[in-house]
Homo-oligomer: A and B are copies of this chain.
Amino acid sequence: MSPRNAFYAQSGGVTAVINASACGVIETARRHADGIGTIFAGRHGIIGALTEDLIDTGQESAAAIAALRHTPAGAFGSCRYKLKSLEENRAEYERLLEVFRAHDIGFFFYNGGGDSADTCLKVSQLSASLGYPLQAIHIPKTVDNDLPVTDVCPGFGSVAKYVAVSVREASFDVASMAKTSTKIFVMEVMGRHAGWIAAAGGLASTADCELPIIILFPELPFDEQRFLARVDDLVKQHGYCSVVVSEGVRSADGQFLADQGLRDAFGHAQLGGVAPVIANLVRERLQYKYHWAVADYLQRAARHIASKTDVEQAYAVGRAAVEFALAGRHSVMPTIVRENDWPYRWSIGEARLEDVANVERKMPREYISDDGFGLSPAGRRYLLPLIQGEDYPPYHDGLPSYVRLRNVAVPKRTATNFALK
C-alpha cells in the first residue's frame, strides 16, 4: 500500500519565517517517502483546499525547497479566511474532507495562529466522527505571539529582532540630531491586542548601550500627562528619546489613539497611524521636533535581519509536525519548550489542540516595568533569547535571493465547484 498524501496550508498574516516551517515540513516528508506520499499545498491557504486548488510541491527542486528557509512571506499564498463553526457551516468542513478524500490526503498540516488551530481541531474532530482517517496537526506561526503552551510563536522572534535593531539604530540617529533638530523619534509597531512586539523595542537598550526609550503598550490605557512628563524628563536628561508605540494603544475610554478623529479635507475619517498622533501631541505640548515611522509590513517581512533562533524554531516545528504524523499523532501542535533562559536552551514539545484552540496568551503585566513605560527584567529575560543570532539570506547583485516556486496546479478530481461564502 502506497503511503497517503499530505496537505499543507499557510494561514493568516505571513511572517519572515513561515516558509522555514514549510521547508521543515517538505524536507522532512521527502526523507520519509515510505510514510508520506506527495505534499500538496493549498494555493492561498485553506481556500486552496476548499476550491480544490492544490499545488504539487513534488514538482519543486530540492534547491527551491531549501531556499524556502531563507524566503519571507507565504510561498504558496496565505489567506484571511476563518471557517465558521461546524453548526453554522458544516458544508465547508465536509468539502475539505471531500477534497482530502479525492486526493488520498491522510495528513493535514495547518500553519497558522489561533484561528487555524481551532479549524485544525474541528477538521480533526469531524474526520473522526465521519470515519475518515486524517491526522490533523497544527504548526504554530504568528508575529502576535499569542498562542498558549508554546514558549514562543515562530515569526515573533524575527519581528522582535527587527524592532530592537531598528530602535537602536534610529536612537543613534536622533541622538546625533537632537542638539538643533529632532529630539523625539516615534516608531509604530504591530500588536493590536498585545504588546509583545512593542516590548521588543526595549531590547534596544542594554547595560553596555543604554538608550532613553519609552514604550506605549496596548495593555495599559494611555495616560497623556504621565507620558508627556516622561518624554520631557528623558529629553532634559539625555537630550532626546525614542518612543515605541503599539498600534493598539488606547485612551482611558477604550478608543484607539490611531482613530482619534483624523479627517481629510472632505471630512472623511482617515485611517492614520498612531505614530503621527503621538508625534503631534509631543510637538503641541512640549514643542519638541520629532520624526516618526510606521514599520507595518516591513517588520514582519524583514527576512534580511531574521533571528537565527526564530528561523531554527520555525524549521523545527515544521519538521516535528511531520515526525508527529509519522508517529501516529493527531490533533496536536508542536511547541517550543524553554529549557533554560540564558544561555537559551529549548526543545520541541507537544500540545493538544484542545488546549490551544481559542486560548489567547496575554503578555504578563510583570513583563512591563512598574512605571508602565518600559521592559521589566522579567520581560527582558523572556525576550532576549528570542532574537539571538543572525541568519542572513544569500544575496545576488546586492539583493536577497528569495525563491518563487513554480506552484504547479494539481488536476482536479472532484466535480464540485465549491463557492466560498
Q: Chain A: residues with CB nearer than 8 A to chain B?
A: 10, 13-14, 16, 44-45, 47, 71-75, 77-81, 161, 164-166, 168-170, 172-182, 185, 187, 203-204, 206, 208-209, 260-265, 268, 270-273, 275-277, 279-280, 284, 291-298, 300-305, 307, 384, 387-390, 392, 395-400, 402, 404
Contact = CB atoms under 8 A, between A and B. Distances in A.
Given A81-B180, A179-B77, A291 B280 contact: no
Nearest to A185: B297
Contacts of A264: 260-263, 277, 280
Given A47-B179, A294-B294, A172 B399 contact: no
A271 B261 contact: no
13 contacts: A14-B176, A79-B179, A79-B181, A166-B298, A166-B301, A185-B296, A209-B402, A262-B264, A272-B276, A273-B276, A384-B397, A387-B398, A392-B392
Contact of A298 (B180, B293, B404): B293
A265 to B, nearest CB: 3
Given A10-B176, A280-B270, A398-B389, A302 B168 contact: no
A129 B257 CA distance: 59
B73 A172 contact: yes
Given A80-B181, A273-B276, A388-B397, 5 more contacts: A16-B169, A169-B301, A169-B400, A170-B301, A270-B272
